[in-house]
Structure 1
């Protein structure tokens, strides 16, 4: 599940890169040996995957793949990728392998694919081996880890405020904290920091595809995973069998339209995450206010009264935290709480009501023990920072962030402040990615791509789905009228049916198709999970 960290348990911060070299029709950073007069490098060896049960009694298999640190230097240093697989439950009808990326950046597939396995459509689980992996730099793969011990990591986490900095003193502490993080990371493994870009991971994915014995990719990526999928589709367009991109980032906004010279806004401002979160907050307060308090504990009896109540609570928290809950920490908790409607919105409403009444919010109930034990890798904030900051241009002056915060606050309110500072650490990040894909995004793919967008998404606004569908050479947009971050994590039977047909035999949803979520916020489940509307259209049979 994609995570935006707003607490000391972990926050995602990001940074920028510069320099570009055009190689062929793809814009990639880094040297080109052939252009320099040397022979092109030999292709990297296909990794060998020796599968075994992740733990005794598990239904999941694990393996380790060795890949080059630098794909342009296949004979040089190698790194390891941790890979996980759940085999098709109906092997007689197996179609192939579905690769899954859970987003982030920094999402560990070895953890999040098993956690979310039952969210995949039943027919997909029956007919595909589902494979995921911890991308380079992350989790149980060769990871960016800038601390000698958990105690050091915890000490660093405590050196800056929860959520985002408020006031000049906290902004200074924030900047100093992330400068220190950059120094630590640069000392420990500077070479790795320069080779964790999305393009590097797309090339890893191509090697994993060969490692499972297939030559065409079937893929599902959510959130940041949509950028990985779009990058792969344009680096290896002839290898796309079927690709679902759910919760999309606008690729031109991500690369700043291939211009690093003047990144006036942060990445998340260009992506519109602040506006998406503001629209989702407005929906939360409207729907909560229209519900009774037994369905939404924070309801004040009407949408207008509930909005006023929220605004007053923010004013109170600015003046005085409640049992350690600060204004900034509460805003971060709200954005996090919007991601998964059930149970996130109900729990968020209860938290806000506790704070309104001056009580310490009750901790969220612990989930039941997983049926399958899962890996528990180190997932420090520096892992996402290294990926994010190596790919997307960002203001390099820490002093620029406070004016940008005020800009986002003017257009998106409290949640805008959160999104600006979510990449604030990028200003002082020391590394520059050696390779980064910068377009084009419209190379014709062997098969069309299915783009799924949710109308009220607090992280990847619906505008990103529209942009992704428009940028790709051949894509079909499926609209989910609903709330939360990605359709995978906020179920719609309608979306699942379309995705199953597309992945199995290539049938696209009709043009203009629209679905609804099975259970709306604070409401009773719909009997059918929504309906699809639109004209006809297919992609043709797949094999």
Structure 2
């Protein structure tokens, strides 16, 4: 469901949450309440910056860090780091570290893609720094295949989106079990050392490497769990943390956090419910527009919802090319992330399918830095080892029916997005499972849209309750994270907080994002079908 290179990255984010959520409840690694070894005993990486590509304003470097912080003198791994210097005017205030989510988002590519989304005042006063977390992208990465051909063959061996029917369920479960076996064979040690806690320790070393006495950070989606983990492991080092598109930390770490028995992560988070509510808004706003603005409009919200239901029922029996029912729902789930151009392109794709045409994907804009290998196993290695999941693959059909009853088609998608973790072979050697309320040197700013298809507003409210000192800013808007669905109001609050520590008032809201959905006519493009689970979750 990649609408563009940027949306491809965002989708890996969402799938990352989905795949990352495939963990294990049977084996539980010990909680890590503080760094396993004093980071003062670990050498601070030396960063030698050079242009990432010729004539690029983005500079790249490589950091060497321990694989296992409990054995800092053992094996080391490399982290790929990227920076864009503060543009001025005004004195430079330090570095703003950015995590683009996932897990599985390669910051070395995604930060340059997303750079213009950062508030102008912040770009002027801070170097913007990101990195590919351990296990990901250009860093020492999880790679479970011997070649790109092997990876492609594995992807082709399973259903797109999620399985439909008993035969496809068996194929799906078998394919992901085989993926786990392949990953275990290639680098079992790395699989046990890609936890969020260890990435937080990497982040603190990178903070020291750029010379900042405290951390300034913006994390979206999975990056909010990373930020919350850092805040509780290194509370004295918190200068300013913006967490945008929040995950409930109890849902991430505790499979019984909601009181529901052993639900998969995305159902614990309520992602399926939030996605269904966002889809309903998409159909309502589309139906309130004319076809020049929303190609799928049937003239009213009610008629447009009915049209969508008829389309999905028809696709169950009569796919349009490779666009099966499940592949279409996969595309819908991921296309809701970025309103512009995602919602308009999704409307065009649905209309093509309604008319029996295979949608044409739009031309992809090349990223400023080429993408590395970013297989679905990378985000899954983080989530599956870090966030507990029910371990019986045969239970997921029951979870699917439960989720479908409360959230429709998208409940099926989000249930199976977590299933790969049921057979994942590794549990993180060092997990952080709390506490989440350690007092920090400075308060934390949380941001969340009201209609977020991946990290619903209820998760942001839970994050606000869990952290010792946090203020929630609500964007009355749509899409996954305010960063990728910009609001001048949100950016103004973020700038003041990041630059001088001023929080929004208690209960502050921003009335809308800059450009509402379906605000202007736009030629539609197709949306390529995605790979389903482990393609990248939460974003």
Fold conserved (TM > 0.5)? yes
Contact 2:29/2:428, CA 8 A, preserved across alignment: no
Q: Which residue of 1 aligns with 2:467?
A: 472
Q: Note the residue ranges of structure 2 that are not aligned, 5 or more in a row.
A: 1-5, 522-539
Contact 1:41/1:72, CA 8 A, preserved across alignment: no
Q: Which of 480, 492, 498 is the aligned partner of 1:497? A: 492
**Correspondence list, 1:120-135, <5 A:** 120-135=118-133
Contact 2:352/2:359, CA 8 A, preserved across alignment: yes
Deviating runs (4+, > 3 A) in structure 1? 1-14, 20-23, 257-263
Distance 1:94 1:497, change over 3 A: same
Q: In the TM superposition, what is the alpha-carbon distance from 1:92 to its structure 2 partner?
A: 4.5
Contact 1:41/1:74, CA 8 A, preserved across alignment: no
Distance 1:260 1:290, change over 3 A: closer
Q: Which residue of 1 aligns with 2:532?
A: none
> Per residue, is there more helix in 1 or in 2?
2
Which of structures 1 and 2 has the bigger CA Rg?
1
Q: Which of 304, 307, 315 is the aligned partner of 1:306? A: 304
Q: In the TM superposition, what is the alpha-carbon distance from 1:215 to its structure 2 partner?
A: 1.8
Q: When the two structures are aligned, how many residues end up with a matched partner? A: 511
Q: Which residue of 1 aligns with 2:387?
A: 392
CA distance in 2, matches of 1:102, 1:330: 25
CA distance in 1, matches of 2:462, 2:248: 5
Query: Helix, strand or coil: the match of 1:161?
Result: coil
Distance 1:217 1:6, change over 3 A: closer
CA distance in 1, matches of 2:235, 2:157: 45
CA distance in 1, matches of 2:480, 2:22: 23
Which structure has more relative contact order (CA 8 Å, sep 6+)? It is 2
The superposition leaves residues 409-466 of structure 1 with CA deviations (integer Å, 9 ceiling, x where unpaired) of: 0000001100011111111100111000000100001000000010000000010111
CA distance in 2, matches of 1:319, 1:451: 44
The superposition leaves residues 202-257 of structure 1 with CA deviations (integer Å, 9 ceiling, x where unpaired) of: 00000000000112000000000000000000000010000000000000111126
Distance 1:146 1:22, change over 3 A: closer
Q: Which residue of 1 aligns with 2:321?
A: 323
Q: Which residue of 1 aligns with 2:403?
A: 408
Range with bigger deviation, 86-95 or 215-224 = 86-95
RMSD: 2.3
Q: Which residue of 1 aligns with 2:476?
A: 481
Does residue 109 of the first structure (1) align with residue 110 of the second (2)? no
Does residue 431 of the first structure (1) align with residue 440 of the second (2)? no
Distance 1:259 1:348, change over 3 A: closer
Q: Which of 212, 216, 219 is the aligned partner of 1:218? A: 216
TM-score by length of structure 1 reads 0.91
**Correspondence list, 1:88-107, <5 A:** 88-90=86-88, 92-107=90-105
Q: In the TM superposition, what is the alpha-carbon distance from 1:512 to its structure 2 partner?
A: 1.2
Q: Which of 5, 20, 23 is the aligned partner of 1:16? A: 23
Contact 1:234/1:443, CA 8 A, preserved across alignment: yes
Query: Helix, strand or coil: the match of 2:77?
Result: strand
Distance 1:477 1:260, change over 3 A: closer
Contact 1:274/1:416, CA 8 A, preserved across alignment: yes
Contact 2:255/2:268, CA 8 A, preserved across alignment: no
Contact 1:216/1:240, CA 8 A, preserved across alignment: yes
Q: Which of 53, 60, 67 is the aligned partner of 1:55? A: 53
Contact 2:255/2:264, CA 8 A, preserved across alignment: no
Q: Which residue of 2 aligns with 1:163?
A: 161
Q: Which of 512, 519, 533 is the aligned partner of 2:515? A: 519
The superposition leaves residues 57-96 of structure 1 with CA deviations (integer Å, 9 ceiling, x where unpaired) of: 0000000000000011110000000000000001652111
CA distance in 2, matches of 1:59, 1:436: 36
Q: Which residue of 2 aligns with 1:137?
A: 135
Q: Which residue of 1 aligns with 2:239?
A: 241
Contact 1:453/1:478, CA 8 A, preserved across alignment: yes
Contact 1:14/1:384, CA 8 A, preserved across alignment: no
Q: Which residue of 2 aligns with 1:65?
A: 63
Contact 1:263/1:393, CA 8 A, preserved across alignment: no
Q: Note the residue ranges of structure 1 that are not aligned, 5 or more in a row.
A: 34-39, 526-543
Q: In the TM superposition, what is the alpha-carbon distance from 1:14 to its structure 2 partner?
A: 4.0
